[in-house]
Amino acid sequence: MQSLLTPFLFQSAAQAITPILLAATAGVLCGRVGVFNLALEGQMLVGAFAAIVGSYFCHSALAGVAAAMVATAAFSLILGYGATIFLGDPVVIGIGMNLLASGLTAYLLRVIFGVSGTFSDPGVVGLGRITVPALVGVPVLGWAFARQSAVTWAAWALAAVVSVVQFLTPVGLRLRGVGEQPEAASTLGVNVVRYRVIAVLVGGALAGLAGAQLSLGAVSVFAEDMSAGRGWIAVVAVMLGRNNPLYAAAACVLFGFADAIGVNLQSRGLPNQLTDIAPYVATLLALVVTHRRRVRTS
C-alpha cells in the first residue's frame, strides 16, 4: 500500500478527476433546477469531438475548448427545451441524446476527417500542462496539481463557483426554488422554463469542457465513444451528492483515485481489462454504502 501512494498516483488521479468533476458539476447544475441530466456521456463525447475539430482547423487549443463548449451547449438545447416546453421524459431524452452523440460524432469523423475509429494529427494542438513552480515537490497537493492542464484548474474553480452561486447568491436561491418548488417559484415571478433552459445550457458548456479535456488533455486524439462511461460515473456522482456540488466533487475524487489505482496496477502487470473496471466497482460500492448510512441516520 505504501508504495502505491506515489506522486504519480496523485497526478494521474487529478487528471482522471478533471472530466468527471466537470461533468458532475454540469449534472448538479441541471439536477438543482429539476432536470435529471442523463445525457452527460453524450455531451462529453460531442465536446471531445468539437474540441478536436476546433483545434485542428484553428491550430489552437483555446479554439478547440471554445468549440467544445459552444457545440455542447447547442447540443444541450435538445434537453433544455425537450424536458421543459416539450414535456419530454428526461430519461428517454438522455438515452436518445447519448446515442445521437455516438452516431453523429462517428458520422462526422468519417465525413470531416475520412477515418473511422480514432483520429490524431500533428495539426491538433493539445492543452499544454501548466507548471506551478510554487507547488513542485510539495507532498500531495503538489504531486496532484504542480503539472496539470488549465482545464484541471478550471474544473475545481468552476465547482467552487457553482457551489458559491447555488448557496450564497439570490440567483442560487431562485435556482433551488425552481428545482424544489416550481409552482412557488413561478408564483414569485421566477421564469421557471428560462432558469431551467439556461442551467441546462451552462451545464452543457461545462460538459463540453470535460470533453475537451478528454480529447486534448493528456494526448491529442479522438476515439469513437471515448467518453467510455465517464459520463455515467458523473451521473452517479450527482446522485451520490444529491445535487450538492461539494459532495459530488468528493464522489469524483473517489472515482478518480479508483481509476488511478487501476492504471497503477496495470503498470504492475495486471491486464487492463480487469483494472479498467475499478472505477465502476468503486461506484457501485459507494452507491450501496451511502444508501445504508442514509437509512441508518434517518
Partner 1 sequence: MRPLLRARLSRERLRPPPVILAIAFAALTGAALILASGHNPLNAYVEIVRGSLSPAAWPDTLNWATPLVGMALAAAIPLRGGMVNLGGDGQLVIGGLIGALAPVFLPVPGAVGAAAGLALAALGGGLYAALAAWGEVRHGVSMLISSLLLSYPAIGVTSYLARFPLRDVSTGLPQTMMIPPNARLPVLAEPLNAGSLLIAAIALAVIFIDRRTSAGYELRMRGKNSRFAGYGGVRLGPQAAWAMFFSGAVAGLVGATIVLGSQFRFIDGALLTPAYTWSGLMAALLASGEPVGTIAAALFFAALQTGGFAMQRETSVPRVLTLVLQAIVILFLAMRRGLGRRA
Which residues contact residue 79 at a Cβ distance below 8 angstroms, ignoring those fewer than 6 apart?
Answer: 30, 35, 37, 39, 90, 93, 94, 97, 200, 204
Residues in the chain: 298
Among 58, 74, 88, 265, binds partner 1 (CB under 8 A): 88
Helix H or strand E segment including 118: strand 118-119
Q: Which of residues 257-276 bind partner 1 (CB under 8 A)?
A: 271, 273-274, 276
Distance CA 114, CA 126 (A): 21
Number of residues that bind partner 1 (CB under 8 A): 44
CA angle, 168 then 38 then 165, to 5°: 10
Shortest spacing between CB 172 and partner 1, in angstroms: 25
Query: Which one, 62 or 274, has the nearer CB to partner 1?
Result: 274
- The answer for residues whose C-beta is within 8 angstroms of residue 56's C-beta and 6 or more apart is 64, 121, 123, 124
Q: Identify the H or E element spanning 62.
A: helix 61-75
Beta carbon of residue 94, minimum distance to partner 1 (angstroms, whole number): 9
Tell which residue, 67, 63, 61, has the closest CA to residue 108: 67
Q: Which stretch binds partner 1 (CB under 8 A): 58-66, 99-107, 149-157, 243-251?
A: 99-107
Q: Which three cell numbers stand for residue 122?
A: 500533428
Task: Say if residues 259 and 15 touch (Cβ distance below 8 Å).
Answer: no
| By the rule CB under 8 A, 8 interacts with partner 1 | no
Choose the binding region for partner 1 from 126-134, 149-157, 179-187, 278-286 (rule: CB under 8 A). 278-286
What cell was used for 86? 416539450
Interface pick for partner 1 out of 8, 89, 140, 168 (rule CB under 8 A): 89
CB-based contact 235:71 (threshold 8 Å)? no
Select the span of 4-12, 90-98, 144-152, 208-216 touching partner 1 (CB under 8 A): 90-98
Please identify, using beta-carbon distances, which residue of 104 and 160 lies nearer to partner 1: 104
Residues 202-241 that bind partner 1 (CB under 8 A): 229, 232, 235-236, 239
Give the nearest distance from C-beta 124 to partner 1 in angstroms: 21
Binding partner 1 by CB under 8 A: which of 1, 2, 3, 111? 111
- CA-to-CA dists, residue 160 to 67, 79, 132, 165, 289, angstroms: 24, 25, 20, 9, 26
* Range in contact with partner 1 (rule: CB under 8 A) among 91-99, 154-162, 166-174, 187-195: 91-99
Query: H or E segment at 131?
Result: strand 129-131
**Residue 102 binds to partner 1 (criterion: CB under 8 A):** yes
Q: Which helix (H) or strand (E) holds 149?
A: strand 147-149
Cell of 152: 484541471
Determine the interface stretch with partner 1 among 15-23, 98-106, 137-145, 207-215 (rule: CB under 8 A): 98-106
Q: Which residues of this protein are in contact with partner 1, per CB under 8 A?
A: 36, 78, 82, 86-93, 95-97, 99-100, 102-104, 106-107, 110-111, 116, 229, 232, 235-236, 239, 271, 273-274, 276-277, 280-281, 283-284, 287-288, 291-292, 294-295
